[in-house]
């Protein structure tokens, strides 16, 4: 077992991609993981493969649902590890970006992080301990075409991370963000499909196009993000607070 023995960790978007890899990593360190997302069947199927994990349905855009889901998760003990990973993306040139689409992305990627973090505040304050990890993006550190709404959301997450890190600094709680470049998940698959459809590129060419800003010239793997999350939960990482940890092969150096 490990240093997260007996601790309850909630991972939003825990049924797929990066969130699922993080849940496995935290379970390896002893955490009781609660996987949250909208697709309960998929969450339950994935939870079966992770020691002590269980699934709770939660739509992070629904404030009442968030409170109920976190109350359910609290049945496993105070929630002292939170990974705000649920996120959505789309692309559109700015002149065609509707207000509705802009707000749809903020509702999940920014207000969702607020709702979920708000829901664990009392747990962490009472325990005088906590780890909050927000999955931002390279798009939180730099700009890119056709994703003004997504960039705005991921920059906002870093702002919230820093503010909360300062506010909770005296409580043995750290709040950090991870900023990956393109990671091989369903989200990156969507971008690959768009490139293929729009340009007629082969799959290999589309992957190369997505990786072109990464000096290592490759997509990242979910386990690489999970490793950083595991490290941020380690007792020896207490001094790392309010950081936006870049994980993109040197894109943002």
Which residues in this chain contact ligand NDP in the complex, by CB under 6 A? Answer: 12-13, 15-19, 37-39, 42, 58-61, 85-89, 108, 135, 137, 180, 182-183, 185-188
Least distance to ligand NDP from the beta carbon of 185, Å? 3
Q: Helix, strand, or coil here: 221?
A: coil
Closest residue (Cβ) to ligand NDP? Answer: 87
Q: Which residues contact 68 (CB under 8 A, 6 or more apart)?
A: none
Q: Is 146 a catalytic residue?
A: no
Helix (H) or strand (E) run with residue 149 in it: helix 148-167
Phi then psi for 213, rounded to 5 degrees?
Answer: -85, -10
Tokens standing for 247? 């994980």
Question: Please, which residue, 137 or 161, has the CB nearer to ligand NDP?
Answer: 137
CB of 64 to ligand NDP, least distance (A): 13
235: left (phi over 0), alpha (psi -120 to 50) or beta: alpha
203, 191 contact by CB (below 8 A)? no
Specify the residue, 129 or 225, whose C-beta has the smaller distance to ligand NDP.
Answer: 225
Query: Which of 121/142 has CB closer to ligand NDP?
Result: 142
C-alpha to C-alpha distances, 20 to 12, 16, 33, 217, nearest whole angstrom: 9, 5, 10, 25
Take residue 64 and report the two structure tokens written for it. Answer: 């009442």
Give bridge partners of residue 35 from the DSSP assignment: 11, 55
Q: Toward ligand NDP, which CB reaches closer, 11 or 124? A: 11
Ramachandran class of 18: left when φ > 0, alpha when ψ lies in -120 to 50, beta otherwise: alpha
Nearest distance, CB of residue 107 and ligand NDP, angstroms: 8
**Nearest distance in Å: CB 38, ligand NDP:** 3
Angstrom distance (rounded) from CA 162 to CA 167: 9
Q: How far is the CB of 66 from ligand NDP (least distance, A)?
A: 9
> Which token pair is 141?
């550190």
Determine phi and psi for 177, rounding to 5 degrees: -120, 150
Nearer Cβ to ligand NDP, position 210 or 233? 210
List, by residue number, the catalytic residues.
150
């Amino acid at each position: 077992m490990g240093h997260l023995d007996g601790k309850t960790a909630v991972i939003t978007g825990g049924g797929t991609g990066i969130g699922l890899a993080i849940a496995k990593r935290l379970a390896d360190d002893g955490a009781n993981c609660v996987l949250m997302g909208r697709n309960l069947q998929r969450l339950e199927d994935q939870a079966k493969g992770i020691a002590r994990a269980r699934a709770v349905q939660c739509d992070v855009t629904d404030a009442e649902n968030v409170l109920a889901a976190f109350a359910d998760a609290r049945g496993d003990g105070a929630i002292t590890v939170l990974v705000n990973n649920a996120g959505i993306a789309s692309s559109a040139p700015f002149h065609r970006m509707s207000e509705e689409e802009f707000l749809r992305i903020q509702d999940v990627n920014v207000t969702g992080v607020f709702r979920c973090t708000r829901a664990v505040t009392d747990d962490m304050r009472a325990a005088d301990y906590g780890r909050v990890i927000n999955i931002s993006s390279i798009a939180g550190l730099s700009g890119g075409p056709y994703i003004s709404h997504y960039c705005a959301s991921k920059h906002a997450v870093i702002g919230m991370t820093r503010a909360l890190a300062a506010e909770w600094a005296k409580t043995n709680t750290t709040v950090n963000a991870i900023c990956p470049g393109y990671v091989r998940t369903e989200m990156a698959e969507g971008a690959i499909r768009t490139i293929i459809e729009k340009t007629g590129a082969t799959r290999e060419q589309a992957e190369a196009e997505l990786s072109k800003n990464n000096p290592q010239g490759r997509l990242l793997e979910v386990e690489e993000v999970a490793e950083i999350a595991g490290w941020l939960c380690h007792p020896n990482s207490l001094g790392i607070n309010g950081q936006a940890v870049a994980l993109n092969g040197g894109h943002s150096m």
